Structure 1
Amino acid sequence: MLAMVRFQVPAAASDEFAVGADGSLAALARARGFRGGRLVRAVDDPEAWVLVTEWDGPGAWRRALGGFDVRQLLTPLLGWALDAPGAFEILVDRDGPGDAVRRHESSLAPDAATATPGH
């Protein structure tokens, strides 16, 4: 599973944000199920940042977000977060140019887009 949290950070706050995001990534990396992560910034818009992490699955990601150190470090940054979908299942991947393509079945239930709690 790939998790992406998008941020719009004013230039004046970029140093503060980068330090907090680096600490958040380090805290997430200690969580069970963490596979890797990156803090990236848009080349054409230095105020656009994304914290990208890869996980064993949605449960690992959600449990990691509940960790005290993650909440302590990530929560102050969420004021700059954009409201956008952030959890994505990986359906096709490849490690390098010469590596084989791997296809994965969706883990979503057939009614995932229509089911609601209690129904």
Structure 2
Amino acid sequence: MDCKATVEIGEYSRGGQTRGYNQAQDHDMGTKEKYVPCGIVDEDTGQLYVTFGSSYKTSDFMVDNLEQWWTSLSITEKQQLENIQFKVDNGPENSGIRRQFLKRMVEFADQTKKSIQLLYFPPYHSK
């Protein structure tokens, strides 16, 4: 589970420079609309679940997407899962010491009745 950098919405990209025959304007014309992609990959099947939000990359945003992913699974898929492992990057929104993220993950575990493991990659060591 990971969120990526904010994506500006409009007819411009990479400062107006494009690859191929894409049309892009060479200036940001003041558009304020931006989206944040958040993705979950099932490493066993390779299935990708991506959503976009217009808010910020926060712990609530990430867990909200996780809950949407859970509701998209069939009953059979949910029953087959005994233990759910999430690889997260220990960023400011999903850190192992971020209380809001941990609170929401505990609520998700209680709701789904599944054991959840947070796997931080790469492992960071405090100094």
Give the TM interval when normalised to the shorter protein: under 0.3
TM-score, with length taken from structure 2: 0.26
Which structure shows the bigger proportion of residues in helix conformation?
Answer: 1
- Look at both structures and tell me which one has the larger radius of gyration over its CA atoms: 2
By relative contact order (CA 8 Å, sep 6+), the higher-ranking structure is: 1
TM-score, with length taken from structure 1: 0.27
